[in-house]
């Protein structure tokens, strides 16, 4: 199974434990892109709505495309009561949007699953002149808050982390948007903090695609090792999060 499809196997866990983004990030983005009920927006791969509510609640014409069948169903369950909510269950890479064009296209830790040439060239085509491409991700740091705990957790990884499928993603070059016609590339950082008890931490780790594919007998031992390590060393993991927002624009006269 492709890594980008693995999240669809855990929709409930994904919904509960994947991180959200800061209010300040969305306030900035909504102002920057001037999102309001007159604007049309596309979210690529919304998952279960980790970055959906603030945009949907502007009253914009909200559209989403979600690859996972179960994630799509969860989105429909949560948001179908909104008259401005529209979603399709399909693959952004191959889906034909017809004549649809958008004032903003955005993704939260999703666009990196798409080959760069498709990600930038297709979003560029789908944006109206002057439209905004917004790409966000979370950089989670739990080492700074407790280096001793971090070192002990790494020992659990060294012993039991044996995924069936090697994780080779992570090299998406966001700044290359300018190679595909985009202008005004920017990066903005926002900050947050999460605190998790042992059960919450293990459940959160269980939403990482490369952790899901750890085979037995390593998988059970791995998660039990994480739980025990946190419980015996203060009973909590503190994440100092950086929410990174990359922005680029399609020129008014492309």
Residue 136 covered by a domain:
yes
What is the predicted pLDDT for the residue at 1? 53
Residue 227 covered by a domain:
no
Angstrom distances, CA of residue 132 to CA of 20, 28, 100, 117: 21, 13, 15, 17
Residue 223 covered by a domain:
no
Residue 175 covered by a domain:
yes
Residue 224 covered by a domain:
no
- Is residue 210 classed as helix, strand or coil in its secondary structure? helix
Beta bridge partners of 84: none
> Tens digit of pLDDT per residue, the chain (254 long)?
566 677 878 888 888 989 899 999 999 999 999 999 999 999 999 999 999 999 999 999 999 999 999 999 999 999 999 999 999 999 999 999 999 999 999 999 999 999 999 999 999 999 999 999 999 999 999 999 999 999 999 999 999 999 877 666 667 999 999 999 999 999 999 999 999 999 999 999 999 888 988 899 999 999 999 999 999 999 999 999 999 999 999 999 87
Token pair recorded at residue 56: 């949907």
* Number of domains present in the structure of the chain: 1
Residue 77 covered by a domain:
yes
CB-count exposure of residue 116 (10 Å: 0-12, 13-18, 19+): middle
CATH number at residue 178: 3.40.50.150
Residue 189 covered by a domain:
yes
Place of tokens 């039991």: 160
Run of H or E including 24: helix 23-33
Strands across the sheet containing 183-196 = 85-89, 61-66, 40-44, 102-108, 127-141, 237-249, 183-196
Angstrom distances, CA of residue 171 to CA of 28, 162, 167, 174, 178: 26, 21, 11, 9, 17
Q: Which residue range forms the structural domain that includes residue 134? A: 3-140+170-193+240-249
Nearest to 226 by CA among 208, 242, 241, 240: 208
Token pair recorded at residue 172: 């998406």
Those residues whose C-beta lies under 8 Å from the C-beta of residue 6, and which sit 6 or more positions away, are 209, 212, 213
What is the predicted pLDDT for the residue at 164? 79
């Amino acid at each position: 199974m492709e890594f980008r499809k693995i999240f669809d196997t855990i929709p409930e866990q994904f919904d509960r434990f994947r991180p959200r983004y800061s209010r300040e990030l969305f306030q900035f983005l909504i102002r920057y892109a001037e999102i309001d009920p007159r604007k049309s927006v596309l979210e690529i791969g919304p998952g279960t709505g980790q970055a959906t509510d603030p945009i949907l609640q502007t009253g914009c014409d909200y559209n989403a495309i979600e690859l996972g069948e179960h994630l799509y169903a969860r989105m429909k369950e949560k948001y179908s009561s909104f008259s401005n909510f529209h979603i399709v269950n399909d693959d952004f890479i191959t889906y034909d949007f017809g004549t649809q064009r958008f004032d903003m296209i955005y993704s939260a830790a999703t666009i990196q699953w798409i080959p760069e040439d498709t990600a930038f060239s297709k979003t560029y085509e789908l944006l109206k002149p002057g439209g905004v491409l917004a790409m966000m991700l979370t950089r989670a740091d739990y080492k700074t808050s407790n280096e001793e705990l971090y070192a002990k957790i790494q020992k659990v990884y060294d012993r039991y982390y044996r995924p069936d499928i090697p994780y080779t993603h992570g090299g998406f070059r966001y700044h290359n948007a300018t190679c595909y016609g985009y202008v005004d590339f920017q990066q903005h950082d926002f900050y947050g903090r999460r605190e998790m008890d042992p059960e919450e931490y293990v459940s959160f780790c269980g939403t990482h695609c490369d952790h899901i594919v750890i085979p037995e007998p390593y998988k059970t031992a791995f998660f039990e090792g994480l739980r025990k390590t946190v419980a015996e060393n203060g009973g909590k993991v503190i994440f100092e999060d950086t929410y990174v927002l990359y922005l680029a624009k399609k020129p008014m006269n492309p």
